[in-house]
Amino acid sequence: DTGVSQDPRHKITKRGQNVTFRCDPISEHNRLYWYRQTLGQGPEFLTYFQNEAQLEKSRLLSDRFSAERPKGSFSTLEIQRTEQGDSAMYLCASSKGQYNEQFFGPGTRLTVL
């Protein structure tokens, strides 16, 4: 059990650029979540995958955001035409089954200049 990993850990980009983040969940965890955390706040739910199916998206996830989880393994979160308001920590979490706790990755810190 190697834990949830995320890549990159830090990303600095200019406004208007596209960025993509990757999350590798704990193996055999079929549920994968993306959260966003801004400074001084708790994580906020963005989207959820059960295996490869994206089953819920938050209102926070504008049409500039897209997430995938091909083959139900790793997941990617892409932000197109980044804005300064997108600057945040993007956290990925996974769990095995609906009753088990979520394990979080270290996050990707995005800074949009």
Partner 1 sequence: QQQVKQSPQSLIVQKGGISIINCAYENTAFDYFPWYQQFPGKGPALLIAIRPDVSEKKEGRFTISFNKSAKQFSLHIMDSQPGDSATYFCAARVTSGTYKYIFGTGTRLKVLA
Residues that bind partner 1 (CB under 8 A): 4, 6, 31, 33, 35, 40-45, 48, 55-56, 91, 95, 98-99, 101-107, 109
Of 18 and 51, nearer to partner 1 (C-beta) is 51
Instruction: Please compute, for residue 58, the number of CA atoms within 13 A of its CA located in the half-sphere on the CB side.
Output: 12
Residue 59 CB, nearest approach to partner 1 (Å): 12
For residues 88 and 26, give the distance between their C-alpha atoms in angstroms, rounded to a whole number: 23
Closest distance to partner 1 from the beta carbon of 48 (Å): 4
Toward partner 1, which CB reaches closer, 17 or 22? 22
- Smallest gap from residue 77 Cβ to partner 1 (A): 15
Q: Pairing mode, if any, of strands 75-79 and 103-104? A: unpaired
Nearer to partner 1, 17 or 66 (CB): 66
Q: Which of 91, 112 has the CB closer to partner 1?
A: 91
Return d(Cα 39, Cα 108) in angstroms, integer. 13
Measure the CA–CA gap between 43 and 46, rounded to whole angstroms: 9
Cα–Cα dist 8/12, whole Å: 10
